[in-house]
Every structure is written in structure tokens, then in C-alpha cells.
Amino acid sequence: MRSNPRLTLLSDEDRGELSGVLTRVEAAQVALAAAEAEQARALAEAGAFAARLAEGSSAVVRDRDMALRGVAAEIAAAVRVSDRAVQRQIDSAYTLVNDFPATVHCLEKGLLTRAHVAVVEDIGRRIPTGLKGEFDQLAAEICLDETPGRARAELEILAERMHPRTLTERHEEAFRGRKIVRYTIGEGMSELRSAHSSVLIEGIFQRVTDQANAVIAAREPGSGDTRSLDEVRADLFADMLLTAIPTNDPTGDPVGPGGRPGGLGAIKAKVQVVIPVMALMGKSDVPCDLAGVGPIDAGTARLLAGNSYDTWERLLVHPITGLTMAVDTYQRTTAMDRFLKGRDKHCRWPGCRMPARKCEVDHNHDAALGGKTEICNLCCLCQRHHSMKQFTAWKVKQLDGGVIEWTSPTGRVYIDNPPGHGVHFTPEEDLPEDVWANWTNPGIEFRITSEHPDDPRIPPPF
């Protein structure tokens, strides 16, 4: 096949068109980099402003944190991001601007991209304070000539050379940052990540892989088990974490004659699921609500429904609005508490999704100032936002129907509506007794909340 001359040798016209596009892309990149540098400087200034607000106070540490939270919340509400995320952005911008000025300067001039800066920040974090200036200069120079990926490799070597402490010492420190975190990734799925010593993570991965391979090898022909290696690994991982008992349990007596097992093994998972009765019976497949997390599919909810009738917590939900009307108990204080958790489902700070079971109950109009202990003056706030309401200039007022009105320190108003449920059903028949007792799952104790207003088991509202 003959080569296309238009591709092998560009005409003046083609060359002109292409360089026009190129110029635009370059200009956009320069503008973007400059804007990102400006955003970092503005966020860093917000951090410095918060620090100045708290200066001279007797409770400097608490006040500085509160001032920072207040400023972060003001920015977060205006740009519709969570205040925790903005606080992290402020922290990271403050560090970037103060520790890596040469890198920020190059970003501002459009000589580097945000991706280069992220590499410098990431690796520069490990450099001790006194050496950060030198690292910043050298890192910016390396980045000028390289893509972020290649620059990372060079910066890793640079950081290792500059570091005055051994890897052993640094690992000891990093090890104190071990943790697990979870993220929702949509479609009723979440991701669990663990940062731990590489040796242990490798051991966990190898063990679960070997076990999964053994499960697959032991399959009888025609067993119908078609799970992939990934699926079997994930199932084993969940199974072991939900049902196994830790070997190291400080709640029990030392192992030996007369030693009793500890209590860690008795601690079961507790999750609140809002499941319509018809979905529980398998007669509909509407999505159910994993409180504070998001929708899960009806099949999973049914599978997970525990067999313990006592642990089911049922909510009466308005068939049209989906707002919680009452809970199935007459006991006043507990009832109110459960009502609030059912109505709010999560912290009522604008944008916060901390599940209600981890929240505190706030008197919107302070009890000390005459605020009454009534549903229309109470709402769920997580510990972070509860203390922010107390210690910063944010003001709260509860309107009709559980609507919360927030006023920011600069006077902007944000409305937080109570969460509702989208889909509701009318019963076609009464619920047989065995429907309520027929699901078993030893690993998880599930609280099932019925959102059916005509559920015969639920006593009339108080």
C-alpha cells in the first residue's frame, strides 16, 4: 500500500491548522496552571486567615481548629463541596505554598502541570522540614524536563539520597499510619482499602489467593459455581472478616488453663437497612437503603436480613413524602432518638453524610437558652459539625417538616431537607409470620426497617 502523501508531508495549510490547535491547547494549559496556582494561594491564604483569627486566644489549639473549620465550611457551602474536603484542600494548599514555593512559581508561569505538582507534594512530604527548600528547587528543575511519571522516578531517588533517616526508622513512623478506609463506588458496591505493612498485605493477598485457588480446584463438575478467582477471593475475604475471631483478644483472660475467650468474637456487624415490606417478601425489587451509605439491591438486602426479630427496627414512613412519621415504640426518649435517626439518616450539616447512628442529637435552639426537647427542635449532627455549631459563627434554625436552615458567618443561607424515600408500595396481602423469621446470616446482625405505613405489626403512631 502506498503511503498517503498528505500524512507524510504536511502542506503549509495543514501545518498552519495544526499549529493553531496546538497553540490553543498550550495556552489553555498555561491558563489552567496559573488558575490552579492562584487557587492554591487563595486556599493557603484562607488557612493563614483562620490562624490569625485564633491568635491570642487562651484555647489556641481548639480555637485554631474551629476557625479553620468555620472558614472551610464557608468556602465549602459556596462551592458545593464537603467542608472536610475543603479543610483538606486548605491544609494541602498551605503546605504546598509554604514548603514548595519554587514549584508553585513554575506552576503559576505555566511551566509545570498540576500533575507535576502532585508528584512533588507526594514525595516532598517525606522530606524533613529543614531540607524541603533544597528538595523544592531540585524537584522543580527535574520536572521542567520530564513528564510527571518520569519525574516521579527521579524524585524518588533524589528523596532517598537526601533523606537523613534510614528506611527502618521511616517505616516505623509510617507504620503508625496503618488504617482501613471505605469508599462507595456506586451500583450498591463499596471498596475497602487497607494501608498496612507491605509484608502483611502481601501475606493477606497470598493467603486469600491460595485459598481461592483451592476452592476452585475442589469444585465438582457441574456444581454451578462459576465464580472467577477475583470473586472467590473477595467472598473469602468478606467471610473471614465477618465470622473469624481475632487470635489476639485483650478482652479475655490470658490463654492457658482456666483462661476464657475474649469478647471481640461476639461483636457482630450492625447495619441499618430501610427495606420496603414487599421487597423483603421478594415480591418487588425496589432498591433498599443502607442508612448513611446509599442504595443497595433488594436481593442483597433480603439475603442479609438477620433472623433475630428483636433487632429489627421498624420505621413508619409517609407513603407520599417518604418522611419518617413515627417509630414502633411508645417509650418517649428512646422513641424520639430513634425517630430522629430515622428521619435524618445522616448528619444534617449541608452535604455531610455521616450516618445518624454515629451522630449526636443537637438542640437547634440551645437547651441552655430555653430550647425545648422536641422533635421540631432536634436534629442529628456528627461530632465534628456539632462542635462547629457550638464554637463557630454558623447559625441553625429548624423550619417545618424537619427542614434545617443554616446561616453561614458571612450571612449566606443554606437549606438542608430531611432525606426521603422515593418508592413506596401498597400491600396486596397480609404478611405471614414466617416471612419475618426466615432469613439467616450468622455473620451480620441486620436491623431491618420497614417503611410500610400499613404494616400490621407496627403499633399506631404515638
Q: Kindly list the residues in this chain that would bind Zn ion in the complex (CB under 5 A).
A: 347, 349, 352, 354, 382, 385
In angstroms, rounded to a whole number, what is the distance separating the alpha carbons of residues 282 and 301?
Answer: 10
Nearer to Zn ion, 280 or 354 (CB): 354
DSSP string over 238-290:
HHHHHH---S--TTSPPSSTT----SGGG--EEEEEEE-HHHHTTS--PPEEE
Nearer to Zn ion, 278 or 347 (CB): 347
Q: How far is the CB of 406 from Zn ion (least distance, A)?
A: 12
Alpha helices in 285-345 (DSSP H): 298-304, 332-344
- C-alpha cell, 45: 491564604
Q: How far is the CB of 419 from Zn ion (least distance, A)?
A: 14
In angstroms, rounded to a whole number, what is the distance separating the alpha carbons of residues 122 and 127?
Answer: 10
* Main-chain dihedrals φ then ψ at residue 65, nearest 5 degrees: -65, -45
Q: How far is the CB of 303 from Zn ion (least distance, A)?
A: 31
Residues in the chain: 462
Q: How far is the CB of 305 from Zn ion (least distance, A)?
A: 29
Nearer to Zn ion, 349 or 436 (CB): 349
CB atoms inside a 10 Å sphere around CB 278: 22
Nearer to Zn ion, 152 or 343 (CB): 343
Q: How far is the CB of 447 from Zn ion (least distance, A)?
A: 21
Query: For 408-414, which contacts have Cβ atoms below 8 Å and span 24 or more sequence positions?
Result: 408/73, 408/74, 408/77, 409/70, 409/74, 410/74, 412/74, 412/77, 412/78, 414/77, 414/350
Nearer to Zn ion, 103 or 364 (CB): 364
Instruction: Identify the CA nearest to 272 among candidates 323, 318, 313.
Output: 313
Nearer to Zn ion, 351 or 443 (CB): 351
Nearer to Zn ion, 273 or 354 (CB): 354
Q: How far is the CB of 323 from Zn ion (least distance, A)?
A: 20
Nearer to Zn ion, 89 or 113 (CB): 89
In angstroms, rounded to a whole number, what is the distance separating the alpha carbons of residues 23 and 228?
Answer: 49
Nearer to Zn ion, 97 or 354 (CB): 354
* Cβ atoms of 305 and 286 closer than 8 Å: no
Nearer to Zn ion, 182 or 260 (CB): 182
Q: How far is the CB of 82 from Zn ion (least distance, A)?
A: 9
Q: How far is the CB of 347 from Zn ion (least distance, A)?
A: 3
Q: How far is the CB of 440 from Zn ion (least distance, A)?
A: 35
In angstroms, rounded to a whole number, what is the distance separating the alpha carbons of residues 290 and 274?
Answer: 7
Instruction: Identify the CA nearest to 144 among candidates 182, 197, 107, 100.
Output: 107
Query: For 427-436, which contacts have Cβ atoms below 8 Å and span 24 or more sequence positions?
Result: 427/277, 427/278, 427/452, 427/454, 427/455, 428/278, 428/283, 430/456, 431/277, 431/281, 431/455, 431/456, 431/457, 435/280, 435/281, 436/309, 436/312
Alpha helices in 109-182 (DSSP H): 114-124, 132-145, 148-162, 167-175
Q: How far is the CB of 380 from Zn ion (least distance, A)?
A: 8
Nearer to Zn ion, 278 or 291 (CB): 291
E strands within 349-393?
360-363, 378-381
- C-alpha cell, 195: 494501608
Q: How far is the CB of 90 from Zn ion (least distance, A)?
A: 18
